[in-house]
Amino acid sequence: MTGLLSPVHILIVLTVALIVLGPQELPKVARQTAKILRELRALRERLDEELHVLIDDDGPDPSARPEQPTPGSEDGDSPD
């Protein structure tokens, strides 16, 4: 398996974190990281909803433009 989040890569990161932080601090850091990720996910979802509201409430369809009068049709003359 190749890729950024392969099981081997995750195991290496967890091992290094355990060595650097120690067994007492690692659970605290994991809880804090999970909390931050939940908050970021909720923020992203709220921003997505706001963006969809702005896009949906954009106003009239820009492709449905009102007809523009053609030059010469204002005075009532019709081309023969």
pTM recorded for the entire structure: 0.53
Q: Note whether residue 66 is domain-resident.
A: no
Host domain of residue 32:
18-57
Q: Note whether residue 33 is domain-resident.
A: yes
Residue 17 · residue 26 · CB < 8 Å = yes
What angle is formed at CA 62 by the lines to CA 59 and CA 63, rounded to 5 degrees?
140
Structural domains of the chain, count: 1
Q: Note whether residue 23 is domain-resident.
A: yes
Q: Note whether residue 72 is domain-resident.
A: no
Q: Note whether residue 7 is domain-resident.
A: no
CA 4/CA 34 separation, integer angstroms: 20
pLDDT of res. 5: 80
Helices (H), 1-80: 7-56
Q: Note whether residue 1 is domain-resident.
A: no
User: pLDDT tens across 9-59, in order?
Assistant: 989 998 999 999 999 999 999 999 999 999 999 999 999 999 998 888 765
Q: Note whether residue 78 is domain-resident.
A: no
Residue 17 · residue 32 · CB < 8 Å = no
